[in-house]
Structure 1
């Protein structure tokens, strides 16, 4: 059998807050997920984003502690347009999430911004910039 990358797993301190955050970005979690210790959302290409509560992880790894200094990963969401990057960033910041990097036109040709999810993980929002002359 060939090994295949399949799941991105996040350990979350507040499942309801994390679900609200990722639902704002279009991910679909089952109804009642807020009451579960482990939830999953299907991602494009067959990948899965799995959220586990800290308590769930400690149930099988009693010594587990969150990494010092907050999040250690970054997720990126492609938006439909540069204006959508701005709108999603504004929506998430207005909902109380930390805006790490305000939207800007990156030298590599994208509108780009970074917000933090409830556990401090970086979540990048991006969209290609229009190509001059096209």
Structure 2
């Protein structure tokens, strides 16, 4: 049986802040009824599920785990045009989100920008330049 990735779990230090941040990217997380302060999930297209777990929950469920100093996950969000990438980046930075890379035309044919979620995890914003 081939390996199938069904869930991506992002560990965050502030669940409410993370939910609000990802809502700005049009991702709607629902808090878990059994662990509303530590876990939330969001269904994505094609059966993929994105989860947010707090540092506290991860340290309870994973032996010897400690939060990294910097996020090591980069979620990538696709937009239809370069203008949308620029607008979303500007909107997020204006709302106080940390910008890690201002929008630019990458040599691999994409308009690309990067911000950090409230826990320091990277979020890339991109659009294919051919489609823009």
**What CA RMSD, in Å, does the superposition of the two structures yield over aligned residues?**
2.3
- Please report how far the alpha carbon of residue 26 of structure 1 lies from its aligned counterpart in structure 2 after TM superposition: 0.9
Q: Secondary structure at the match of 1:85?
A: helix
| Rounded Cα–Cα distance in structure 2 between residues aligned with 1:32 and 1:62 | 22
- Please report how far the alpha carbon of residue 60 of structure 1 lies from its aligned counterpart in structure 2 after TM superposition: 2.6
Determine the structure 1 residue equivalent to 2:104.
Answer: 104
- Please report how far the alpha carbon of residue 105 of structure 1 lies from its aligned counterpart in structure 2 after TM superposition: 1.1
Determine the structure 2 residue equivalent to 1:61.
Answer: 62
**2:31–2:39 Cα contact (<8 Å) kept:** no
Determine the structure 1 residue equivalent to 2:49.
Answer: 48
| Higher Rg | 1
- Please report how far the alpha carbon of residue 11 of structure 1 lies from its aligned counterpart in structure 2 after TM superposition: 1.0
Give the aligned length.
131
Unaligned runs of 5+ in 2: none
Tell me if 1:90 matches 2:90.
yes
Which consecutive segments of 4 or more residues in structure 1 shift more than 4 A? 31-34
Using the size of structure 1 for normalisation, the TM-score is 0.86
Q: Secondary structure at the match of 2:60?
A: helix
